[in-house]
A and B are shown apart, each in its own frame.
Chain A
Amino acid sequence: MTLDHLKSSLKPGFYAGIVALFISVIGMIETFSNRDIIHGVFSISHTFLVIIALITGYFSATRAQRAGIRQHGIDRRAEVVNAIAGSLIAGFVMGLFLAVLVVVANLINLRPVFVNVTPKLIDLLTFGRPSLAGSIVPLSMFTIVSGLGGALSLFRSDIRRLIVTSLLWFAFAGLISEVIRLSLSRLGVNVARKFVTTRGLTPLGAAVMLALIFAIVYASQRLRDRQRRQPDQSSPARKRAVRFRSWGLIFVLLLVLPWVVGRVPSDVLVLVGIYVLMGFGLNIVVGKAGLLDLGYVAFFAVGAYSTAILTSADQLPNIQLSFWAALPFVIGITGLAGLLIGAPVLRMRGDYLAIVTLGFGEIARFLALSDWFSPVLGGAQGVVKIPNVVIAGIELADPEELYYLIMFFCLITLFISWRLEGSRVGRAWVAMREDEQVAESMGINTIYYKMLAFAMGAMIASLGGAVFAVKLNTVFPFSFSVNVSITVLSLIIIGGIGSIPGVLVGAFALVGLPELLREFDEYRLLLYGVAIIYMMIVRPEGLLPSVRRGRELHEDEMAQDAWGKPAEVIPVPANPELSG
């Protein structure tokens, strides 16, 4: 028996090594070491490396198994050996990269060029033995962890799923331990301190959390298994009632959320809400009408600035309207801006449109910064003294209160997007996205419908801008960089273009998480970039796709499937003239 097939493990190890080296050198490891999953025991950066090693181990084990089967036939004992050996090899290769980094950093000072290769990083990678000999630590460490990952592949699939899901949720809980701490501390500071610290879960907290998560995951898996075995036979009316009740529950949860989590997370929630709102808006432009608008921040800025100017007590055109009196003007002005920008650019081809709108986004910021407009827009200082929103005599000063304002806007927008779906307007948009020429020949005025989508997107963004202005009570140009556009675009892409739950999940993951973990902030665009590339290549329909969009992006494959064997795509009742 040759060992040739174990070569297949080199590749995953190689890639994992590059990734581990990359995140070390760009400083992610060091930055995240300040936050622990379990206080004093296990930091987030170690979690990253361990996860990479586990995944590598798992993949290389399955690869080695498969290669072994190809070369030597099926043999249960050999499979176990292959899995372990393969994952150990991959882990060794991965560890080698980090070991080399440790060696090199010991021999020459890399810091003048690679600013993030600090002594602390080396310290972290070697678990406190930053000497030349310490390079042995990552090497052995990741070989072992990868081996564990390989061992995981030998478990029965349902047990494996249970372990993996629980551990992932646990890691997530560790990530958001700050939120847990803040919400628990409302029960009493001393209670909270037992379970969580500012740096992560305590060992006790970790144990409780792990047990809790394990129980929940186990129960939900059992439940799902049972459901799969005996599908739901209840009547449609009952199903509807169940669905209605679960939506009601979610709604009530959303209503009380800010009071559960407390002030700081509520502030984040408001920001998440603003991005949810903009996600809905951009979904109309990109998802429904198929126009790739990269300058969405321009409308957000127009909304924020016009709110600021109309309500501020400070600015030169001293208008001082109340928020609600200003709102119709804000929406109107931004809608008009949408039309003005839209009129010239909407005739362009899709890729040109993308770049031009990107340019417009930048123009908005340049103009806001310029001396030319500074008498009105305040130049780099921006506009200050924007009063809070008042509803029925109550001033929305705290984020917990502002949350309801943004939620109200989100619900309205959600309602509008939902109603437009499947209406005459919605059909026209879909048709236009599918084939613009044919849509035109079906009597659809494509320019009009593009303008409509663009203006509606703009108006929704202006709501976000308005809330943003009253949230900070000041606006200034640096809030309106291209990063905003990219963030909104990323969140709808990652969530799934055209998908409503996708926007929610995307906004929480892409905006909420980085706000809670300020360490993320430095790397968020890097991660968005990776996520976008990954999604486009592997899963263009997003994590939570809308049905239609999913079809669209896999059109080629599906069309082929449909031609060859229609019954496999969607089960159809037997029909003698299936072939038409």
Chain B
Amino acid sequence: MAAFFESKELVKKFGGLTAVNRFDLKIEEGEIVSLIGPNGAGKTTIFNLVTGFYSPDEGAIYFRGHDLVGMSPHQITGLGIARTFQTVRLFLNMTVLENVMVGQHTRGSSGVFGAIFRPPSYRAEEARIRERAEAQLGFFGTRLTGYRHDQPAFMLSYANRRRLEIARAMATEAKLLLLDEPTAGMNPRETQEMTELIGRLRDERGFTILFIEHDMRVVKGVSDRVVVIDYGRQIAEGTYAEVSQDEHVLEAYLGRKTKDAA
């Protein structure tokens, strides 16, 4: 039985710099795993490798029996991995609902002919896409529903943009969600809410989640397992309690380079 998600000996170099160095990671279905490490440790690079934005120089990535290396990002999304971005990247001029409907892209199949002639199958599909998009937005309570549906995304507040980005990723009907610093820039109340939300994503919607986080309260609050990396290499792994006592981790955060302490 192949693992749900597994990366083996991933290596990615940029010129002389090795951003990711023989990185191994295994995730079981239904887990919430957080990825932490000092700035520049290679966390986002790992996301980019997994989602196909970069191709690794060495190593392999398996997801539910598929080898992801060499696939393009849209194929990987089609297989069931969706992500958000560290700097929220929405389609700012599309409406809130349209943003999420774009997320449903891989779950539809209509093309130019469908759009022009609009047979019943096309209309059913559009209705389904819309309905599911609305359902994803409903997950966030009233924050993104009602009149918000037809607002362009640039009208949203920062926290709502983060939520919309997650809704859009959810709409791809992925199995594995990669969230890149979901609470960055949020105030404590919003952060608390996001922490609960990540838990609900798994409990209510059945997503497996890998997320990058700097806020240790979030990491502590929700992760089943914490993976710590530094210089592109895994230096510790375990529950929050285990990891927070690990001397490699303390060294990475506090020792050697005072500058990089998070």
Contacts and interface: CB of A to CB of B under 8 A. Distances in A.
Contacts of B26: none
A580 B112 contact: no
Given A423-B110, A572-B147, A580-B143, A441 B93 contact: no
B102 A555 contact: no
B110 A442 contact: no
B113 to A, nearest CB: 10
B108 interface: yes
Interface in A556-580: 558-559, 562, 566, 569-570, 572-573, 575, 577-580
B157 A431 contact: no
B112 A452 contact: yes
B86 interface: no
A186 B78 CA distance: 64
B93 A551 contact: yes
Contacts of A551: 93, 152, 154
A456 B113 CA distance: 12
B111 interface: yes
Contact of A424 (B82, B110, B155): B110
Interface string A537-561: 0000000000010011001001100
Given A424-B129, A438-B85, A441-B83, A562 B155 contact: yes
B92 A424 contact: no
Interface stretch (B69-77, B194-202, B222-230, B238-246): B69-77
A420 B89 CA distance: 25
A431 B92 CA distance: 9
Interface string B131-145: 000000000001100
B110 A439 contact: no
Given A441-B53, A441-B83, A569 B155 contact: yes
Contact of A443 (B78, B129, B155, B157): B78
Interface string A417-431: 001100111111011
Nearest to B47: A441
Given A440-B72, A442-B103, A425 B112 contact: yes
B116 A416 contact: yes
If over half of A's interface residues share one DSSP class (helix, strand or loop), that class is named, otherwise mixed; here it is helix
Contacts of A452: 112
A423 B102 CA distance: 10
B96 to A, nearest CB: 12
Contacts of B126: 423-424
Interface string B85-113: 10001111110001001110110101110
Q: In the complex, which of the residues B114, B155, B158 has the most CB atoms of chain A within 10 Å of its own CB atom?
A: B155
Given A427-B101, A443-B172, A438 B91 contact: yes
Nearest to B142: A577
Contact of B108 (A424, A439, A569): A424
A499 to B, nearest CB: 15
B51 interface: yes
A437 B89 CA distance: 10
Interface in A419-472: 419-420, 423-428, 430-431, 434-435, 437-446, 452, 456
Contacts of B155: 562, 566, 569-570, 572
A548 B116 contact: no
Given A416-B116, A456-B112, A569-B155, 6 more contacts: A420-B112, A423-B122, A424-B108, A430-B94, A437-B73, A562-B155
Interface of A: 415-416, 419-420, 423-428, 430-431, 434-435, 437-446, 452, 456, 548, 551-552, 555, 558-559, 562, 566, 569-570, 572-573, 575, 577-580
5 tightest CB-CB pairs across the interface, nearest first? A580-B157, A423-B115, A443-B106, A443-B77, A580-B160
21 contacts: A419-B118, A423-B114, A423-B115, A424-B129, A425-B111, A427-B98, A431-B94, A434-B92, A435-B91, A440-B72, A442-B82, A443-B172, A555-B154, A559-B154, A562-B154, A562-B155, A569-B155, A570-B155, A575-B147, A577-B142, A578-B157
